[in-house]
Structure formats: structure tokens, C-alpha cells
Amino acid sequence: MKDKPPFIYCDTSSNNALKIFNLLKRPIVRQKFLADILWLRRRFKHVVPGEKQCLNHLPGERSIFNKGILTETLHTAAETEWAGFYPKSYCLYKKEHKERFFSKTRDGIWLLKPAGGSRGIGIEIYDDTKKIKDKLENDSLDGKYIVQKYIENPLLVNNHKVSIRNYWLVMTSNSMPLKAYMYPEGTAKVCTEPYDLKDLDNMSSHLTNTFQNKDRASYDPTKYKLNWNLLAKKLGDSSIEQKIIDRVQSALSKLVNISHNEINKSPGKGGYFAMFGADWVLDENLNPWLSEVQRGPGLKFADPLKKVLLPNVIDETIDIVYETHKAKDKDSEPDCVKKYIRFK
């Protein structure tokens, strides 16, 4: 007898997720208590899943996707543990961080980022830290920023800066050790303007976020969004894709280990999981530098690439979460794992 598929409950604000579940012909229920998977976009903070349910949010997940809290969390570990994948960063709303940053002359270029921001909104680029100080003294956000070293030698495709996004899954429950998986396919975003260190005000030259580029007359998602395989072809090196996978996986493993105490909290007997999208700037040596972590994978079918990739990612995610949570041996690898790579 074939096992029943997991029943999914979506709240009314999860329209993009619902479209994908319908495309995948996943059974949807209208009442939470009937669901195996609770997929909520809003009002989830006080939701405690039942013993046989899984909620699509981790307790303490803000320690990963909020830039400020992520920076604070990483600073609780020795710098040697994160210096190889997270650019030197300081929380300017914390007195000790602010004093340390401004205590000496800082060379090079720095990004000023709203601590809770996304899509590149509010980011400013400076080559003079005195200007950052002036900015903070007259700013309405009252210093709710992080300052981060800019990667000045990024990977370029035809003289345009590139960043990559990968998708990854974290699961936990009271009856299961924390597990993390990485999907081995992702996307690359290319700036619409040529890379130019002499023009730091042109965000379309330095930020690959779609929001920062989509209004440019030259923007074409089929041209400025690639999968990793196509990126490797454009760079003329077929080994690049596997290098990206290995290096991003290594960096994410370190990130999860450092954040373990914050995200491995499971009130009640149900399961918790989160699908994240992580954005990385690749330097000219293909080293990935974490730019930000998205609370979710970004489920809009905004381009042909995501229309193909996202359903596959979500489909396998649901199977892994469901099969793992109902298994008696929760440390075993479920048979439904096809592409996801588990890491320690």
C-alpha cells in the first residue's frame, strides 16, 4: 500500500507557495489540524506544530536572515571561524562594534547596510569612513546599520559583476538532531552595468539584486540571470560549478555550526524547518563571500530560470521534511533524497 502524501496547509498570504504546490499537485487542506506541513508566511511566531506536524520556520531563524543579528551571532565565535566566508563586518548600533570600527583608519571600500533590509534597498557604498560617521549622525534609522568590507575583486563576466544564490534546508525537532541540506543547483545574477570602482553611486554596477537592476532599459532576465552550469560555460571552465558547490557547502556548514544554539530550539513535539536562499559574491578566485540570507527562497516565478528550478527544490524539500519527521530513526537518510546534499 502506497504511503499517503503529506497534506499541506498554506495561509492566505502564501500565494506563490500555493501556486507551486498546485503545480506539483500536492494535496492542500484548509484547516491547520489536518495538515502534516504548515506553510505560513505571517502570524507564525506563536504557532506550535502538533507532534506529527512540521512548521516552515525555525525558532531563532532571525539569527541567520537578519543582517545585524547574523553579524552579532558570528561575532560570538572566533573570527577565524567565519573570516573565510563573511566579510569583516560591524554592527554600528552596538556601542562596542561602533567604537572598534571608528577607532582607526579603515582603508578600502565599505558597504553601509540597513540591519534588517533586503533587495539592496538602502545600501550605500563608501571609500571614506568619515562620510559613514557623518551619515550616522544625521540618519532617521538611528544607526540601525551594519558596515561591511566590500569585495573589491569580484568575479566578472564580460566585465560585469556576478553574485550567486543557493537554496538550503535546515530541520530540527526535540526528537531529532539539527540537520542541514544544500540543493546543488542555484542561480547567478549579473549586474546590468559594467563594474566600475570609480563610480560607487551606480548601484547597478555594484549590486546584483534584481530590485536594483530591473528598471534599467537593458535589463533582460534571460541575459542577466543564469544557472550555475551556464555561468561555468560563460567562464569557459566546466569545473567551476562543482567548485561553487563545494565551497558554498563548506561555508554554510560553518554558518550552521556557529548559529546552532540559536536555531536549534524546538518548543513542543512538532518539527521545524526553514528553506533559505543565500546570496554570495564570488571573488576572482571563486571564493564565496556571504552577502545575505533570505528568510525564504523567494518563490516568485519572476523569470524562466526560477520557473524550472523552484518547483524541483520545493518538491524535494517537502518530501525530505515529511519523511524525516515521521521516521523512527530520525538520523537516517530518507529514501526521497535525490539531489540535496546533507552536510555536518
> How many C-beta atoms surround the C-beta of residue 233 within 10 A?
14
Same domain? For 281 and 136 the reply is no
pLDDT in tens, the chain (344 residues): 357 899 999 999 999 999 999 999 999 999 999 999 999 999 998 899 999 999 999 988 988 999 999 999 999 998 889 999 999 999 999 999 999 999 998 999 999 999 888 777 889 999 999 999 988 887 765 668 999 999 999 999 999 999 999 999 999 888 788 899 999 999 999 999 999 999 999 999 999 887 787 778 777 777 889 999 999 999 999 999 999 999 999 999 999 999 988 887 767 789 999 999 999 999 999 999 999 999 888 888 778 888 999 999 999 999 999 999 888 666 777 888 888 888 75
Number of domains in the chain: 2
Nearest to 128 by CA among 67, 200, 71: 200
Domain with 103 in it: what CATH number? 3.30.1490
In a domain, 93, yes or no: yes
* pLDDT value of residue 141: 59
> How many C-beta atoms surround the C-beta of residue 131 within 10 A?
13
* pLDDT value of residue 1: 38
Torsion-angle region of 268 (φ positive above 0: left; ψ -120 to 50: alpha; else: beta):
left
Q: Quick one: which H or E segment has residue 172?
A: strand 160-173
Same domain? For 238 and 136 the reply is no
Q: Could you say which of 149, 164, 198 is where a domain stops?
A: 149
* pLDDT value of residue 328: 66
> Residues near 131 by Cβ (< 8 Å), separated by ≥ 6?
none
- Provide the 8-state DSSP code for 331: T
User: What's the pTM?
Assistant: 0.93
Domain with 268 in it: what CATH number? 3.30.470.20
In a domain, 167, yes or no: yes
